Amino acid sequence: MFKSGFIAIVGRPNVGKSTLLNAIVGERIAIATHKPQTTRNRIMGIRNLGEPQPGQLIFLDTPGIHRASTPLNRAMVDAATGTFGNVDLVLLITEAGTAPPADDRFIIESLGARPLPVLLVINKTDTGDRRLLLPLIDAYRNLHPFREIIPVSALKGQGIDGLLAAVWGVLPEGPRYFPEEMMTDRSERFIAAEIIREKITLRTHQEIPYSSAVVVDAFKEDEAKNIIRIAATIHVAKDSQKGIIIGKKGAMLKEIGTRARLELEKFFAAKVFLELYVRVAKDWTNDPRMLKEFGYQD
């Protein structure tokens, strides 16, 4: 019995959705940081299973669902909730704690009356007090009729096999939608831009990570020499942010570039030459035209 289907990974910001996707796929295809709202786009990750439960599980990592106020944040939430009508199963990711937070209640309300099966995945169980887990499970059961509630630690890879077995049990019989060697639908340009943006997020503070967008202008691969040449532009919303990204005598931009290049070389298993430029796109997070240009709005 070969099963397949699409599974949305949803949850509030910073609960470990991207870390969980990477743990499921076994490759680092989604960037993950300690800062909320790192994920801005829907990212597909594909996990192929063999016997005794053969199948193809297609996971859709989504931006954190929250009560959005800006055009960029609304676009991110739309990217997440827009998956509800196109999937066979929803994984609601939360984290170990004392009580269901208001944002999780908001997400459950967003599911509405859809007849979608939902699994609750309680992440970060390696960091909390396990004595609080059973009361938390009881509290969630009072909010929604979840098919199953599964504790995991995405960072340590604990509980992933049990989660995959639960997902397989819910999905219908179906075909193999994608080639077996394929692990994501995202292009190499997209992944390169995301890796650069991750380094910006990790190295800068305050509003800079949330006001930066990366566009890859050129991606040229020399297969004979195993070399990739990448040129990318970092867009920021204010002149002052450009100075921070560049840093004194270009030190910050050089550090971001070096860290990104090393990560890109690891991912692509090739020598990478990376050129970074910084450009001010005034107030781009509130401009629908630029949101579309930067890939955050259909």
Name the stretches of the chain with pLDDT < 50: none
Single out the residue in 122, 137, 170 at which a domain terminates. Answer: 170
Q: Report residue 257 as tokens.
A: 């570039």
> What's the confidence (pLDDT) of residue 298?
64
Beta-strand pair 43-49/55-61: antiparallel
Q: In which element (H, E) is residue 241 found?
A: helix 239-246
Cα separation, 75 vs 98, whole angstroms: 31
Q: What is the CATH number of the domain that holds 100?
A: 3.40.50.300
Cα separation, 88 vs 172, whole angstroms: 8
> What's the confidence (pLDDT) of residue 76?
78
Torsion sign (Cα): 48, 54, 56, 59: negative
Q: What is the CATH number of the domain that holds 234?
A: 3.30.300.20
Q: What is the DSSP letter of 175?
A: -
Whole-prediction pTM: 0.88
Single out the residue in 136, 170, 204 at which a domain terminates. Answer: 170
| 3 state SS of 151 | strand
Q: Report residue 208 as tokens.
A: 């800079």
The boundaries of the domain holding residue 142 are 3-170
**Total structural domains within the chain:** 2
Cα separation, 207 vs 76, whole angstroms: 17
9, 42, 280 from 235: Cα distances, Å: 28, 20, 6
> What's the confidence (pLDDT) of residue 113?
67
Cα separation, 253 vs 93, whole angstroms: 34
Task: Name every residue whose Cβ is closer than 8 Å to that of residue 112 and which is 6 or more positions away in sequence.
Answer: none
138, amino acid identity = D
> What's the confidence (pLDDT) of residue 96?
82
pLDDT tens, residue by residue, 238-255: 999 999 999 999 999 999
